[in-house]
Amino acid sequence: MADVAVTVQEITRTGIDLTDTGSLSVSDTYLVPNDGKTILHIKKSGATDCTVTIATPNTVDGLAVGDLTVTVPATTGDKHIGPFPREIYNNADGKIAVTFSNITGLTMAAARI
């Protein structure tokens, strides 16, 4: 399993066409810089749903927080996920860790709002 750095794209007042990342792997962890204004755009064209998992390495009031999971439906799935509070989702390097259960026909983009 490899850690893969993801570049966050800046949304502007004049608009942006997000560049999606394809060629994802279920065995990799995607590390996305997060300033609390980061969102993920996940699209699925393959025939199987995908569960997106965003790790929660921190605690709230000393209690572990379960990882966030979001199902992106097969064929026409199109989800915007986030933003992610830094104190809950960021690892020690200021990044969120994202994994996928199925990557057939899956693309991802990270953006800052």
Say if residue 22's pLDDT is above 90.
no
Give domain limits for the chain: 3-112
What CATH code would you report for 3-112?
A: 2.60.120
pLDDT for residue 27: 97
**pLDDT 10s digits, 24-44:** 999 999 999 999 999 999 999
Sort strands 68-72 and 50-54 into parallel, antiparallel or unpaired.
Answer: antiparallel
* CB within 8 Å of 12: residues ≥ 6 apart: none
pLDDT for residue 1: 77
Mean pLDDT of 88-103: 97
